[in-house]
Amino acid sequence: MRREIVEKELREVLASRMPGGVDPAALRMDVPIFRGGFGLDSISGLELVVEIERRFEIRIEDDDLDVFDSLDRLVDFVAARASGRQ
């Protein structure tokens, strides 16, 4: 799957989970998704993982959680995992 498509979809998913209604285009690529970066609590984080797995038809294992260090890294991870999907 093309990186641009993954980035757009992930921005939308992430923005929809953030308090206060955030413009997806305003999300910085270098900010950590957890640990205070985007302000998600643990429940929102779990919902985010489940939504990413469902939407992109991939599996995120416990060993993969370091990909949430930034939106940029998450986009790369999802694009690589979903590369077989059209």
Q: What pLDDT does 86 receive?
A: 39
Q: Alpha-carbon distance 71 to 7, whole Å?
A: 8
Asked whether the predicted pLDDT for residue 9 surpasses 80, the reply is yes
For the chain, give every domain's residue range.
3-81
Q: Where are the alpha helices (DSSP H) in 18-70?
A: 42-56
Q: Alpha-carbon distance 31 to 27, whole Å?
A: 8
Q: For residue 73, report the phi and psi dihedrals to the nearest 5 degrees.
A: -70, -40
CATH topology of domain 3-81: 1.10.1200
- Summarize the confidence of residues 8-28 as an average pLDDT: 89
Mean pLDDT of the chain: 88
Asked whether the predicted pLDDT for residue 84 surpasses 70, the reply is no
Asked whether the predicted pLDDT for residue 40 surpasses 70, the reply is yes
Instruction: With beta carbons less than 8 A apart as the criterion, state whether 72 and 30 touch.
Output: yes
pLDDT band for 65, please (50, 70, 90 cuts): confident
